[in-house]
Chains A and B, each alone.
Chain A
Amino acid sequence: MLTAESVSFGYGGAFTLTDVSVEIAPGSLTGVLGPNGCGKTTLLKLLCGVLRPDRGRVRLGDRPLGSMTRRELARHIAVVPQETHPAFDYSVMEMVLMGRHPHLGAFELEGPADFEVARQALDATGTSHLADRRYMTLSGGEKQRVIIASALAQATEMLLLDEPTASLDLGYQLEVASLLARLNRERKVTMVLATHDLNLAASVCHQLVVMRGGRILAAGATREVLTGKTVRELYDVDADVQFHDRAGHLTVVPVKRIDG
């Protein structure tokens, strides 16, 4: 269980995030929704311990994140950023093996067991055939799947993803979405997915945390939170939110912008 209790944070100056509380249950797939600049990324960074809250606290189980080393944290929580631009042209296998870092000693090299974990991560993300390719030569969707594989190689029970589909075209978006749903279902990986893509959230998330202006607007089960009213409050947009039979989940169709 990962919990944030009345967390506030500012990058020097006014709070970017004010009095935010969330609970991430084991095995859940939670979406953090909201417009650009609402504090989604900041919340994610607080949840994985990259940022320390100015007020309130974040706990993993009953341990505050502040009391854990980066190494310990990295064995429990892995993160997939929006985009990854390595300065050097690593191979896919090297990128994935970097996920093993928190499990290796200072001078330890990856052994057969680590390679096995990496291979499984590549399998799980359908990227085994790319293992020997250079990361920089991959397409956007392939890159994102490799980064997810690298996070999986970290063998954590929890995965935080920050806009993992933002830079992908429609085909790759669906591909990554179904990958996440499958990993959550089959591997029981707890996931927190920050996105402004309402349909992505609707398609994979069990519950949603909806944010606006650094505060939580609503939280709860997807079908209860994702309503026309929420969309209006979030984006000032009049939208139809309906269950789509063929898709098998809620869909949001924006109709028009509401002025004033």
Chain B
Amino acid sequence: MVRARLTSVVCAYGALALGACLAAPLIGSTHISLARAFDRSVPFADNVDAQIFFVARMPRVLTGAIVGSTLAAAGVVMQALLGNPLATPFTLGVSTGAALGAVLAITFGSSLAVGVLASVPLASLAGAVVASAIVYALATRPGRPISTMVLLLAGVTLNAFFSALILFVQYAADFTQAYRTIRWLMGDLDVGSFAPIVASLPMVLLSLGIFAFLPRPLNLLSVGADTAATRGVDVGRTQRLAFLSASLATAAAVSLAGPIGFVGIVVPHLVRLMVGVDHRVVLPASALFGAAFLVGCDLVARTVLAPVEVPVGVVTAMVGGPFFLWLLVRKS
């Protein structure tokens, strides 16, 4: 019964995600011919269609799929962990930490002239790790379950504190750096090559792997920590795994594409409207739907005002904001 539902939902959403990933590279501001793109007789360097397909669009679509998928799944896990449907992957400070790292790299990276520190993705990843480590250290005590209240407060406080630091660094930055920072904060999937994707894969796969163990414990956890414990859930361990895997997933996604908002909250809510609230169905469905959603939003971002592009974070916000208001009105 559960299995049949799980299978049908995963197949349906998998087909949707796959369809989006296959269709999106064919559509863009310029028309390309697939036949030419895959024509091996033309050297790659001379084949503009192949370049557009393999260098510009494929990495971009793949990034969209990976980022959409991890953010949506991390959103589901955070919401269950905090017992709060309004939580997002960014609630606990991970993205603000990443943003601080990115801002530091943008502002001071070139003057440091050290390749590694100048790299925006690496710096943002480091920022995300530092932020999660601080929140984790504040909210956990050995042998005790995590207090979600402390977790939430620590996350919200750290968000505010890091935001203040970002403003401070921004103030020291010059005009072009400040502008670049603002652009980074809007999110961008145009990674330009497969290398950043490959670099993020270990983290993404590890976090998705941990997610696979979480759904049933998360069901119980979202009913109440004590109830979960008496039903046989190791609450402390589940909370730690959920926090670490969701933070890791978020860190990977944000360092890859910037903090793209609303994916981590709109997708889980949409999916719950369609398939119910059982995390064993919601989690895989959100991961798949998140991929399709972000690939779709990016398709809009890069075509609607072509040749000018709309930042993808603006598109997700324009879809997400009204959807959320509708959800509120519908509930009240």
A-to-B contact residues, CB < 8 Å = 45, 48, 50, 69-71, 73-75, 77-79, 81, 84-91, 94-95, 98-99, 101-102, 104, 106-107, 109-110, 115, 154
Chain B residues positioned under 8 Å from A78 (CB to CB): 230-231
A110:B222 contact, CB within 8 angstroms: no
B39 at the interface (CB under 8 A from A): no
Chain B residues positioned under 8 Å from A102 (CB to CB): 231-232
Task: From the candidates A69, A77, A79, A104, name the one contacting B216 in the complex (CB within 8 A).
Answer: A104
Chain A residues positioned under 8 Å from B223 (CB to CB): 84, 86-87, 90, 95, 98
Considering residues B1, B6, B80, B213, which has the most beta carbons from chain A within 10 angstroms of its beta carbon? B1
- Cα–Cα, bound, A48→B232 (Å): 11
Given contacts A50-B229, A70-B233, 10 further A-B contacts (CB under 8 A): A71-B234, A74-B230, A74-B231, A81-B226, A86-B222, A87-B83, A90-B277, A98-B219, A101-B231, A106-B213
B19 at the interface (CB under 8 A from A): no
B8 at the interface (CB under 8 A from A): no
- Cα–Cα, bound, A81→B223 (Å): 11
Chain A residues positioned under 8 Å from B219 (CB to CB): 90, 94, 98
Which chain B residue lies CB-closest to A103? B232
**Among all A-B residue pairs, the 7 with the closest Cβ atoms:** A74-B232, A102-B232, A79-B230, A88-B277, A87-B83, A87-B222, A71-B232
B276:A110 contact, CB within 8 angstroms: no
**How extensive is the interface on chain B, given as a class?**
20 to 34
A109:B222 contact, CB within 8 angstroms: no
CB-CB contacts of B268-300 with A at 8 A, as 1s and 0s?
Answer: 000010001110100000000000000000000
Q: In the assembled complex, how far is the CB of residue B11 from the closest CB belonging to chain A, in whole angstroms?
A: 16
Chain A residues positioned under 8 Å from B202 (CB to CB): none
Which residues of chain B (246-274) have a CB below 8 Å from chain A? Answer: 272
B84 at the interface (CB under 8 A from A): yes
B220 at the interface (CB under 8 A from A): yes
B2 at the interface (CB under 8 A from A): yes
A87:B85 contact, CB within 8 angstroms: yes
B-to-A contact residues, CB < 8 Å = 1-3, 6, 79-80, 83-85, 212-213, 216-217, 219-220, 222-224, 226-227, 229-235, 272, 276-278, 280
Which chain A residue lies CB-closest to B276? A91
Which chain B residue lies CB-closest to A94? B278
Task: From the candidates B1, B79, B213, B216, name the one contacting A101 in the complex (CB within 8 A).
Answer: B216
- Cα–Cα, bound, A94→B311 (Å): 41
Contact A109-B229, Cβ < 8 Å, known A87-B83, A88-B277, A95-B223: no
Chain B residues positioned under 8 Å from A77 (CB to CB): 230
- Cα–Cα, bound, A48→B230 (Å): 7
Task: From the candidates B3, B79, B220, B226, name the one contacting A50 in the complex (CB within 8 A).
Answer: B226
- Cα–Cα, bound, A71→B233 (Å): 7
A sample of 7 inter-chain contacts (CB < 8 A) reads A69-B234, A70-B229, A87-B84, A102-B232, A106-B213, A107-B212, A154-B231
A109:B277 contact, CB within 8 angstroms: no
B216:A45 contact, CB within 8 angstroms: no
- Cα–Cα, bound, A109→B9 (Å): 15
Contact A79-B227, Cβ < 8 Å, known A86-B222, A87-B83: yes
B232:A81 contact, CB within 8 angstroms: no
Contact A88-B230, Cβ < 8 Å, known A101-B220, A110-B1, A115-B1: no
Q: In the assembled complex, how far is the CB of residue B330 from the closest CB belonging to chain A, in whole angstroms?
A: 13
A101:B232 contact, CB within 8 angstroms: yes
- Cα–Cα, bound, A99→B280 (Å): 16
Chain B residues positioned under 8 Å from A110 (CB to CB): 1-2
Chain A residues positioned under 8 Å from B2 (CB to CB): 109-110
